[in-house]
Amino acid sequence: MPTVDLAETKLRDLNSALHKLPHDTNETRWIVANPGGKHAIACGVSLPITVEIEGHVGYYCAGMNSAATVVIRGNAGVGVAENMMSGQVRVTGDASQAAGATGNGGLLVIEGNASARCGISMKGIDIVVKGSIGAMSAFMAQSGNLVVLGDAGEALGDSIYEARLFVRGSVASLGADCIEKQMNQQDRAELNAVLARAEISGVSADDFKLYGSARRLYHFHVDNADAY
């Protein structure tokens, strides 16, 4: 179990070591001490290893993650798990803006709150936020699921495509072309599956409301000009 102290080791050396691991490595659990808010920690990891970061991180931690499990025991700066492909990223504290932005797959769990633009342009990622999210979250979200156990800020789902947004609390306002939808059995099953993967129990799908695209902005139509 390698332990890397970023108070003594350069971040570039840590990321380089993670990138050079062979596919049959037995170094499958890494501990990162004293992250000190550094940016781009554990970016681009592409093996099914576990990286546990003991403290707060800066921008783009676990960006482009593929297959790895990254646990951040603290808060995360802008763009945590940005462009994530697969695997799992878990933040035990709060996350700044654009958490999970452009994520293609995998699971991002934020145990605290997430700031503005959480899940923007998400493309298949599942994001679970135990707290609340800020304004303009899920802007242009294309696919995947955003699950919020708290409240959502203004302009939720603005210009959304086919992502599903499940919110248990209140929504300050909906963005362009985002509407509340009736939740069917498939939606409930998908929500329950995401909650189970995020290891969240004692929560019922019936406690959530579903939001998604009204599909009026897919193609320009003069009658919808005021919504663009």
Q: What is the pLDDT of residue 228?
A: 53
pTM as predicted: 0.95
91 neighbors 56 (Cβ within 8 angstroms): no
Q: What is the pLDDT of residue 216?
A: 84
Q: What is the pLDDT of residue 170?
A: 98
- CA–CA separation, 63 and 161 (whole Å): 23
Q: Report mean pLDDT in 10-residue bins for the chain, 228 residues.
A: 96 97 96 98 97 98 98 98 98 98 98 98 98 98 98 97 97 97 96 96 94 82 59
- CA–CA separation, 71 and 42 (whole Å): 10
The predicted-structure confidence for 129-150, as pLDDT tens digits, reads as follows: 999 999 999 999 999 999 999 9
Structural domain boundaries in the chain: 1-107, 113-228
| Residues in Cβ contact with 131 at an 8 Å cutoff, skipping those fewer than 6 apart | 94, 110, 111, 112, 113, 114, 149, 150
| Residues in Cβ contact with 158 at an 8 Å cutoff, skipping those fewer than 6 apart | 136, 138, 139, 140, 175, 176, 177, 178
Q: What is the pLDDT of residue 1?
A: 87
